[in-house]
Chains A and B, each alone.
Chain A
Amino acid sequence: MDCYVGIDLGSTTTKAVFLDSSERILGRGITNSRSNYTVACQVAREEAEISARFNLLKQRLASVPRLGERADELMAWLSCKFALAQHLKQLKVLQQQCQDVLARTGVKGGEDRAPYEQALVQIFEALVSTSEALFAPNQRSQSDFFRDLATSLYLKEAEKVARASGLSFDRTVGIFDKAILQVENTSFATFFAEYLAFACRETVKVEQFKRFEQDISQAVREVTELKFNVLSEVGTGYGRLTLPFPKEQIRSEILCHGLGAHYMFPKTRTVLDIGGQDTKSIQVDESGIVTSFQMNDRCAAGCGRYLGYIADEMNMGVHQLGPLAAQSKNPVRINSTCTVFAGAELRERLSLGEKREDILAGLHRAIILRAMSILARSGGVFSEFTFTGGVARNEAAVAALKELLKENYGDVPMNISPDSIFTGATGAALFARRDSKKAEA
């Protein structure tokens, strides 16, 4: 199957998008960006390919009349069993890596190694045995990165085992930290056929699907055997220069973002993207071509990173900030969006007895104020307005933006896509498609 690929190598996550010849999205993949860009890029691409196969599988099953309304349920089962297979495989590799690390480095302080080996076995037994429940249909954990999921599970088990056996918890964790890096840098997508076969086997065991075994096996086989023929590939994002692509296949994230936003919301004229490292305001024309753009100046005040910094200061997770801020009834005015000063101002406010939610609400407004001035620099806001980037998922930031947009530009429709994280990669894939068309012509 002919397709086009866009890769967005961001500072925290790497995204990939597969497009077909009629510019329809086949699949999307996302992974943690890591020290090894090549692997991050490869993993995202493989994830996108997997998602493309799943989408095709879904279409394929939907076209089987006798499945009827069972098709969706069936997909849920296949997906979760697939994820389980992948998870179990990764656990297996992780366990091996942990043992290797232990064998290689030993236990510092001259402690005996054997009890740790035993502890690892115990921990992983527990991890494997709880996996099935985690990957029941429609569980949220399927969408988590392996690293995040494995970390929380491992820590929980390691604590139990360490307490029971009197071993050092820190050392057990130290082994994990080294091993997980290795796992992250390993590609698992080559096992696609194996996972899907496993998923198929497990699913047809389920009572309600038994009688569709023939159809399911047939569809799975077709999708597994399908070959993707990548006609063109374009890379973008923060780390695009490190992508293993020739220069012509690299595009600025500004252009990709503009085109991607236009694809998602064709009436878009102004795009605001607040990501981890920078804030971008982009104006596009009716065909998605960027006509002007502005980014935050050298001072990174008001970017996503600022929220991370605030979260650290408050000892919270970044994703908890928005919901807490949304509870504020009386936001305080925060003056400093400077990451350097924000901590000091925050501590000062707290020491004055201000409520955390009120301070946070003020901080969110302060960030959006910065974004407003960058929007103003780029020429203002024109309808329709599309908001993208990690901060677009933060409800308090969105609320503050809505309010300030209305105050300054009146009623402008605001688009936020749940898939906004793929905006850049989508734009890149579209450029890949256009480049390829140009080459033909």
Chain B
Amino acid sequence: MSTTTTADVEKEPSMILQKQMIGDHFHELARAKELGKKVVYTFVPGNLNELIWAFDMLPVHPEINALQSGMRKKSGAYIQEAEKAGHSEDVCTYVKCDLGMMKKGNIGPTGERLPAPDLLLLSYTGCFTFMKWFELLQREYGCPVAMLHVPYQGDGEITPAMKQYVVDQLRDSVIPLMEQVSGKKLDLERLKGFLGSSSRAEDDLCAIWDSAKHKPSPIDSYFGGVYYIGPIFSAFRGLPQAEEYYKSLRAEVDARVAAKRGPTTPDGELKDQKFRLVVEGPPNWTSFRDFWKMFYGEGAVVVASTYTKVGGLYDRGFRHDPANPLETMAEYCLGCYTNRNLPTRVDLIEKYIEEFAADGFVVNSIKSCNSFSAGQLLMLRELEKRTGRPGAFIESDLVDPRYFSGANIKNRLDSYFQMIDAKRASSPT
């Protein structure tokens, strides 16, 4: 969700702070063994970051490594490495990128080697492939796996049975295994401390999302948003660094609101906001900058997105609650965006379109990610019907450079923007 950045690109101060945080984290990871720290690999959606920190272990997120590899243009070679080893061209490229990176020495985004895991914490939330992914990693690393099956909101709600199921697993198998691997008993008070810190950062993040209701919007909730979710969806939620980051980000955004300024893009401030959009689906990482430019280059700003909710829908009211640690973690896992059923996802996007006064919405359909993609064409149709606002449908992949056709995507987006323009021009108001 965050990126290593190149020179000559405009950056917000919070981006520089984030880069520092990430650098420190990967540096600590590289020294984990000498520091005597245990390492946990885990997934972003429904992650148990506070719990990992409570055991004083260090988290690694393979999805983030994969997207970083994508941004650094290394994913193509990694994917081919995995395909050479027998993986199908049909399957998720995050998995293949991760496996390929491991085979090539497991060098992380900062150039330092990532430590092997002492535990694979399989928070199986909202994505079936996660399960296969860690089965594959377990074969490679031979370390224990803590399986946490987070049931799906098939009927669009969290039932008491679902919550109980997750709490039971946490209590009966996940926590005992983490105690065993870390050699420490769970310090519940410490855990509560992290959870409290999480909720404070979550408050600030919500204010940031909300700011996009302003015209002009001071943020881009998708392309900028993926930076904003960096700390809270990954290693830093629950830590003071994250609190600090979100405080400073919020101040930045507030200042832009006061000055009626738009978000910062790699080419400077987005000034003339001609189109306000909601985006469904993850971004493409291999051509992230080009992809973004196809939007801001036409004066399009994203006012809300679903991808930035894969690690929790704080904006719909959820906060980590230190008073009920296991229950709150369970609820967090259950509430992630991709763990919600299709009707609920349609409802959510509809609300975003209305609440953020969007001109339309864009679906970026990702080949790798069936969890997001299967059903998106129906969502498109439903949303157009319900909101009367036009949707655009484009296709790309997370980190497979072979699956990003810039000209094709630009063609569709341009047509889409021009269509909105032509409609405006022809409507009497």
Contact = CB atoms under 8 A, between A and B. Distances in A.
Nearest to A257: B415
Which residue, of A255, A294, A298, A379, has the highest number of chain B Cβ atoms within 10 A? Answer: A298
B15 to A, nearest CB: 30
A163 interface: no
Interface in A354-401: 377, 379
Given A294-B393, A298-B403, A298-B405, A253 B423 contact: no
Contacts of B393: 294, 297, 377
B325 to A, nearest CB: 45
A395 to B, nearest CB: 30
Contacts of A238: 411
Nearest to B396: A298
A289 B395 contact: no
A291 B410 CA distance: 19
Interface in A283-319: 285, 287, 289-295, 297-298
Interface size class of B (residues with CB under 8 A): 20 to 34
B390 A292 contact: yes
Interface string A238-281: 10010000000001111100000000000000000000000000
B7 interface: no
B377 A255 contact: no
A255 B412 contact: no
Main secondary structure, interface of A, reads mixed
Interface residues of A, number: 20
A292 B422 contact: no
Interface in B375-423: 377, 381, 384, 390, 393, 395, 403, 405, 408, 410-412, 414-415, 418-419, 422-423
Contact of A252 (B384, B403, B405, B418): B418
A252 B418 CA distance: 7
Contact of A254 (B365, B367, B384, B415): B415
Contacts of B429: none
A379 B381 CA distance: 8
Contacts of B414: 252
A297 B410 CA distance: 14
Contacts of B410: 241
Interface in B20-78: none
B426 interface: yes
Interface in B152-180: none
Which residue, of A252, A253, A255, has the highest number of chain B Cβ atoms within 10 A? Answer: A252
Contact of B426 (A253, A254, A287, A377): A287
Nearest to B384: A292
A255 B377 CA distance: 22
A251 B365 CA distance: 25
Given A252-B411, A252-B418, A298-B408, A291 B423 contact: yes
Given A298-B395, A377-B377, A293 B415 contact: yes
Contact of B395 (A253, A291, A297): A297
Given A253-B415, A298-B395, A289 B403 contact: no
Interface in B330-375: 365, 367
5 contacts: A287-B426, A291-B390, A291-B419, A291-B423, A297-B395
Interface of A: 238, 241, 251-255, 285, 287, 289-295, 297-298, 377, 379
Interface of B: 365, 367, 377, 381, 384, 390, 393, 395, 403, 405, 408, 410-412, 414-415, 418-419, 422-423, 426
Given A255-B419, A377-B377, 13 more contacts: A238-B411, A251-B418, A252-B418, A253-B411, A255-B422, A287-B426, A291-B419, A292-B419, A294-B393, A297-B365, A298-B367, A298-B403, A377-B393
